[in-house]
């Protein structure tokens, strides 16, 4: 079912996630998925099909009940919480449906947060990168504003900037345009496309919007936690 | 670290009123703890100083703690003799002048001889049991503050009249005697002499002022019907806190029972320990209650910030980092509370120090207060530890939150 990808950036091998309870709920079942560098992947499916659950498993926010997730060929099952956090910080960037910015921090501080947590750059280096990122996303004039002072589209662009802060190779987006109007939605999609085409990132986005999914490079469709379709729309550059 | 501090500070300052109440709770606890400690310690120190100044630090008396070993006990290990009638012996310390000279050679302080006799003072139909102490006025200053405690005359007045006597001011008031009054002293074996009151003293401890009188050693020896009798050597040390050890050495050297002021007032010192236990229990309880406020605010913040916690964890902040943020917030509240509490405690002590009252047992009319860094350090440390402890549980819970559950809930 899965497409053949050379040197996968992230892999799910026979991943199953069952929520324990009186009646256990299967969120994701026997998923095999391999995603390489510079891909733009859409994950679609009806509500409750396990799209977001799969994204959280790929993003190491959740642990599979069986199977494993590998990042750059490295198994993550044995990692402790600290190591998973460190991997998220350096290898992954998240963009959620709602911007999920810290409301008491300025736009710039929100973008600096992952860099400060990683501690790879100097203070000046972090600030320079923050300015560069926000400037390139058209938010240069809004750096010192609070998130509440921005429009929905602007907030989501700040969230993208934050996801890119530590230059991760993989961006995981959960309904990134789900709460935006069509204009902002188009801008955010264009931004994600640019990340792939211009910056060589891999973007995996969960979406309900089939039109949007069709414009991505690869389309993975889930039904009842299983992959029912995985086909490329175009060959990655 | 600065990231953790930044986030913690942002959370705390965003809730000025809630944080203010939590800080006020800790500050009140710390302030009242400092005030209580100052009061308890002050009264204890004051009492101890009065006790030390009013009485000799060590009293060597003509008794032995254990009877001298019998020859059979010395010869045979299995021999043990009990219940012997003590040998009737001449009272008093043998060769007191030589003993004093020996003690003065090494003692860090002064020694004075005295004759202590129990007698009844009779005056104007009043009979009061009294400890009459025969002293050498020239040496008395070495072992007590009596020369400074004299009222209406100096201690040398004892030389002015035959059988002159100095009474405690409360004792004089009790029998209605004034300076110049002629009183009668009578001992249990019938010795009876007349004496003239030549002065009064005020030691500041009611027990002493109500039941003690001083005469010349010679007069004491007449009352005891034994010429040359010295039945006490009184010692004052440069360091009164060293009395126990010095008393033990004197006892080992002389064989006479040497009683330090601590031993003489062991019951009081035990009561100080109990007082301190009660004080620290109350202080602990106050600060424990204050820490509930910290627990409350940190719980509220973690509850309100559940979404932010999920975001931070999804970005890659570790459990340790998230936990540290909230522990630091608790520490900030504890620190602010402790510092404010220091000021409050100091002001409360100043206010208490202004209150005037009448103590029937002591002549001080102000509350004795001890200003010690240790009280601040102790209250501050307990406040910080209890704040961090109170904050740790909600912080731990916050750090363990599953980000997916919160993100799903938020979306």
CA pair distance B266, B269, nearest whole angstrom = 5
- Pairing between β-strand A74-75 and β-strand A66-71 as defined by DSSP bridges: antiparallel
Any B CB within 8 A of A61 CB: yes
Any B CB within 8 A of A221 CB: no
Dump pLDDT digits (tens) for A189-214. Answer: 888 888 888 888 899 999 888 888 88
Q: Do the chains contact at A89 and B311, CB–CB below 8 Å?
A: no
Best to test chain A binding among B9, B16, B314, B322 (most A CBs inside 10 Å) = B314
CA pair distance A54, A60, nearest whole angstrom = 10
DSSP code string of B59-111: EEES--SSPPPPHHHHH-TT-----PPPPP---S-SSHHHHHHHHHHH-SEEE
Any A CB within 8 A of B316 CB: yes
Residue A1: predicted pLDDT: 47
Any B CB within 8 A of A81 CB: yes
Contacts of B313 in chain A (CB under 8 A): 61, 85
More reliable by pLDDT, B1 or B341: B341
A10-232 classified as CATH 3.30.379.10: no
Among the partner-chain residues A105, A109, A117, the one whose CB lies closest to the CB of B321 is A117
Average pLDDT over residues A164-182: 84
Cα–Cα nearest to B234, from B77, B55, B407: B55
In this model, does residue B294 exceed pLDDT 80?
A: no
Dump pLDDT digits (tens) for B27-76. Answer: 988 898 899 889 888 888 887 887 777 778 999 998 887 777 778 888 88
How far away is chain A from the Cα of B292, in angstroms, using its nearest Cα? Answer: 26
Residue of A nearest to B410 (CA): A98
Average pLDDT over residues A182-188: 79
CA pair distance B186, B130, nearest whole angstrom = 10
Residue A220: predicted pLDDT: 92
Contacts of A105 in chain B (CB under 8 A): 10
CA pair distance B283, B281, nearest whole angstrom = 5
Region of poorest pLDDT, from A47-51, A96-100, B276-280: A96-100
| Longest pairwise C-alpha distance within chain B | 105
CA pair distance B93, B250, nearest whole angstrom = 13
Question: What rounded mean pLDDT belongs to chain A?
Answer: 86
CA pair distance B243, B271, nearest whole angstrom = 19
Dump pLDDT digits (tens) for B79-112. Answer: 887 777 766 667 888 888 888 889 989 988 899 9
Question: What rounded mean pLDDT belongs to chain B?
Answer: 86
In this model, does residue B355 exceed pLDDT 60?
A: yes
Contacts of B316 in chain A (CB under 8 A): 85-90, 92, 114, 117-118
Average pLDDT over residues A56-84: 90
Q: Where are the domains of chain A?
A: 10-232
Among the partner-chain residues A96, A103, A117, the one whose CB lies closest to the CB of B317 is A117
Output Rg (C-alpha) for chain B, integer angstroms. Answer: 33
User: Are A213 and A207 a contacting pair, CB within 8 Å?
Assistant: yes
End-to-end CA distance of chain A: 22
Which tokens hold the place of A120? 């790879």
Q: Do the chains contact at A118 and B411, CB–CB below 8 Å?
A: no
pLDDT band at B286 (very low <50, low <70, confident <90, very high): confident
Average pLDDT over residues B367-391: 87
Q: Do the chains contact at B410 and A100, CB–CB below 8 Å?
A: yes
Q: Do the chains contact at A85 and B403, CB–CB below 8 Å?
A: no
Any B CB within 8 A of A17 CB: no
More reliable by pLDDT, A97 or A90: A90
Q: At a CB cut-off of 8 Å and minimum separation 6, what does A129 contact? A: A115, A121, A165
CA pair distance B95, B246, nearest whole angstrom = 21
Residue B129: predicted pLDDT: 93
Which tokens hold the place of B255? 């064989």
pLDDT band at A5 (very low <50, low <70, confident <90, very high): very low
Dihedral class, residue B60 (left if φ above 0, else alpha if ψ from -120 to 50, else beta)? beta
pLDDT band at B410 (very low <50, low <70, confident <90, very high): low
How far away is chain A from the Cα of B9, in angstroms, using its nearest Cα? Answer: 11
pLDDT band at A77 (very low <50, low <70, confident <90, very high): confident
Residue B185: predicted pLDDT: 93
User: Are A40 and A193 a contacting pair, CB within 8 Å?
Assistant: yes
In this model, does residue A4 exceed pLDDT 70?
A: no
CA pair distance A200, A163, nearest whole angstrom = 15
Q: Where are the domains of chain B?
A: 2-52+268-410, 64-74+89-255
pLDDT band at B130 (very low <50, low <70, confident <90, very high): very high
ipTM: 0.82
Average pLDDT over residues A17-42: 89
Any A CB within 8 A of B400 CB: no
Residue B272: predicted pLDDT: 81
Q: What is the dihedral of CA B83, B87, B88, B92, to 10 degrees?
A: -110
How far away is chain A from the Cα of B309, in angstroms, using its nearest Cα? Answer: 10
Average pLDDT over residues B202-216: 89
Number of H helices, E strands in chain A: 7, 10
Among the partner-chain residues B7, B314, B410, the one whose CB lies closest to the CB of A94 is B314
């Amino acid at each position: 079912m899965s497409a053949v990808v050379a040197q996968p950036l992230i892999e799910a091998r026979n991943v199953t996630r069952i929520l324990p309870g009186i009646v256990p709920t299967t969120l994701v079942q026997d998923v095999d998925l391999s995603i390489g560098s510079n891909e733009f992947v859409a994950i679609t499916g009806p509500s409750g099909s396990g799209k977001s659950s799969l994204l959280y498993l790929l993003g190491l926010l959740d642990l599979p009940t069986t199977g494993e997730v590998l990042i750059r060929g490295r198994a993550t099952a044995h990692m402790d919480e600290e190591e998973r956090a460190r991997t998220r910080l350096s290898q992954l960037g998240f963009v959620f449906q709602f911007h999920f910015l810290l409301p008491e921090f300025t736009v710039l501080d929100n973008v600096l947060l992952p860099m400060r947590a990683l501690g790879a750059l100097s203070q000046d280096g972090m600030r320079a990168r923050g300015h560069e990122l926000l400037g390139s996303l058209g938010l240069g004039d809004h750096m010192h504003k609070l998130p509440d002072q921005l429009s929905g589209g602007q907030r989501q662009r700040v969230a993208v900037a934050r996801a890119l802060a530590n230059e991760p190779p993989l961006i995981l987006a959960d309904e990134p345009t789900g709460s935006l109007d069509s204009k902002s939605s188009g801008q955010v999609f264009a931004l994600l496309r640019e990340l792939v085409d211009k910056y060589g990132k891999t973007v995996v986005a969960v979406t309900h919007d089939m039109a949007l999914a069709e414009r991505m490079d690869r389309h993975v469709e889930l039904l009842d936690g299983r992959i029912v379709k995985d086909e490329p729309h175009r060959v990655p550059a | 670290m600065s990231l953790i501090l930044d986030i913690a500070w942002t959370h705390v300052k965003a809730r000025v009123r809630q944080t203010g109440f939590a800080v006020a709770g800790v500050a009140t606890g710390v302030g009242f703890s400092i005030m209580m400690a100052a009061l308890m310690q002050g009264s204890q120190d004051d009492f101890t100083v009065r006790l030390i100044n009013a009485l000799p630090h060590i009293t060597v008396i003509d008794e032995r703690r254990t009877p001298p070993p019998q020859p059979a006990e010395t010869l045979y290990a299995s021999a043990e003799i009990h219940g012997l009638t003590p040998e009737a012996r001449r009272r008093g310390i043998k060769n007191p002048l030589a003993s004093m000279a020996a003690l003065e050679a090494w003692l860090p302080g002064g020694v004075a001889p005295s004759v202590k006799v129990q007698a009844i003072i009779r005056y104007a139909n009043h009979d009061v049991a009294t400890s009459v102490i025969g002293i050498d006025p020239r040496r008395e200053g070495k072992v007590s503050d009596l020369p400074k405690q004299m009222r209406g005359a100096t201690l040398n007045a004892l030389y002015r009249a035959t059988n002159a006597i100095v009474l405690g001011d409360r004792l004089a008031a009790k029998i209605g005697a004034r300076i110049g009054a002629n009183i009668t002293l009578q001992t249990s074996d019938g010795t009876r002499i007349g004496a003239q009151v030549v002065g009064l003293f005020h030691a500041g401890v009611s027990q002493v002022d109500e039941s003690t009188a001083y005469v010349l050693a010679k007069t004491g020896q007449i009352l005891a019907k034994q010429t040359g009798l010295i039945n006490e050597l009184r010692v004052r040390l440069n360091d009164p806190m060293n009395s126990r050890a010095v008393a033990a050495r004197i006892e080992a050297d002389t064989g006479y029972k040497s009683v330090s002021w601590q031993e003489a007032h062991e019951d009081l010192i035990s009561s100080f320990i109990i007082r301190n236990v009660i004080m620290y229990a109350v202080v602990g309880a106050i600060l424990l209650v204050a820490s509930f406020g910290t627990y409350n605010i940190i719980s509220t913040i973690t509850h309100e910030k559940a979404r932010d916690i999920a975001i931070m964890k999804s970005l890659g902040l570790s459990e340790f980092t998230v936990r540290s943020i909230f522990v630091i917030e608790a520490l900030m509240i504890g620190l602010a509370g402790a510092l404010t509490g220091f000021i409050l405690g100091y002001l409360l002590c100043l206010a208490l120090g202004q209150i005037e009252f009448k103590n029937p047992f002591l002549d001080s009319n102000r509350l004795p207060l001890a200003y010690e860094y240790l009280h601040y350090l102790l209250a501050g440390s307990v406040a910080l530890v209890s704040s961090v402890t109170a904050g740790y549980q909600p912080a731990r819970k916050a750090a363990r939150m599953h980000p997916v559950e919160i993100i799903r809930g938020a979306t």
